[in-house]
Amino acid sequence: MNQTESTVYKYKVEASSDEEFIAKIDDYSKASGPEVYTAVFKILAGIDIPEKKGSRFWRESLEHRLKLMKLLGRYVDITTALSDFLQTSTEHLSHPRLIETTYYENVVRDTIYDQLTGLFNRTYFDETFTQQLSLAKRYNTDLTVLFLDIDNFKEVNDTYGHLAGDEVLKQTAGIINLEKRDSDIAARFGGEEFILLMSHTDSINAFILAERIRKEIELHLFSHKSDTLRITISGGLASYPLNSDNPTQLLSMADSALYLSKGAGKNRISHFKKEKRRYLRVKISQPILVKELDFKDSIPFSGKSKDICVGGILFENKHPLPIGALIKVKVETGHNSSVLLIGKVVRIEKFSENRYDIGMTTSFNEMAKAANHEISAILHSNGSP
């Protein structure tokens, strides 16, 4: 074999001989554990070997190769020796067949890479993430996940077309791939979402890398045909063991951190923060009527509630409201009944044309004043002083 080249998980192994290839595989196994041997059997033989057998099978296959060369009196490459060992000494390769390496590598590439961006795909990431988290637990090392989402990507597609949107996705992926470290695993998670897996990385160092990626994307001039535009990206971080040791929960935490960035104005990176709400929020979807107080000529407008708690309400409507504005919200509860809430606007986020999410905290003092005013009006109308 004049040139051996194979992708073993996140490593690209290049060697000028089988002996050099074998030495590099052993070096990688010392750094990352027995998963490397499992990957070798998957890439070279196309079979799944249990991790607990991988190291032993690799060692025995190398011994088998030396025996074959001594018996035949000629050179035997590692692929031939591996195939013969698996067929004659194990039950894992009962019906081998020949296949062109280039064709096989193309099949593997299509299976693990996203065709548009060239990054790993969601399926590959999910498998690798579980394995890397297991290694982090075994060797007591840090691991951090970064969720990234392009801000206002729908507007790019609507304004410039989907081909321009595809170009933005490809160029964004290129920046992520360029800025990440060799040991990091970058994948397209879906749509305009990307994810970066950083092994041996705590939350602080992960934030430094995430900020570098964010700034590079913010400064980059994206181009498609005659169109040029700038975009921004928001991100969320969650770490093992700081936040969780459960892979599903860790991804959910990174996703929650991403939406903290979105809610705080976008184009930023946020760490996961534990829920600090004092009250239970309940998802609701009811018609509401909103009116800004302290303005005699303010016009009521309709909207839709999203969730509510004792401390406030989140609702959607077509009109922006200034932060700090005092508003009255009437929530329809059905059966010709409603609830009146009064408070201040503490959050506003535009998520599409003429669509805003508005968060309001309840002011019990203002509600008490309104109740007193209503009671006074009723007493006055009945002739009471």
Residues designated as active site: 192
How far CA 187 is from CA of 115, 118, 177, 191, 380, in Å, comes to 11, 9, 9, 11, 68
- Return the C-alpha torsion angle 258, 263, 267, 269, nearest 10: -40
Nearest to 92 by CA among 56, 41, 136: 41
**Number of Cβ atoms within 10 Å of the Cβ of 297:** 5
Match 């018996």 to its residue by tokens: 71
Which tokens go with 275? Answer: 């829920």
How far CA 233 is from CA of 101, 180, 272, in Å, comes to 39, 15, 17
How far CA 91 is from CA of 43, 83, 244, in Å, comes to 18, 12, 39
**Number of Cβ atoms within 10 Å of the Cβ of 57:** 22
To the nearest 10 degrees (0 to 180), the angle between helices 51-72 and 78-89 is 110
H or E segment and range at residue 269: strand 269-271
To the nearest 10 degrees (0 to 180), the angle between helices 122-139 and 101-112 is 80
- Return the C-alpha torsion angle 208, 211, 216, 219, nearest 10: -140
Residue 350: φ, ψ to 5°: -90, 120
Beta bridge partners of 307: 283, 314
Which tokens go with 148? Answer: 């990234």
Q: What angle do CA 119, 133, 195 make, to 5 degrees?
A: 30
Whether the bond into 247 is cis, omega within 30 of 0: no
Q: Is 190 exposed, middle or buried (0-12, 13-18, 19+ CB in 10 A)?
A: exposed
**Number of Cβ atoms within 10 Å of the Cβ of 342:** 21
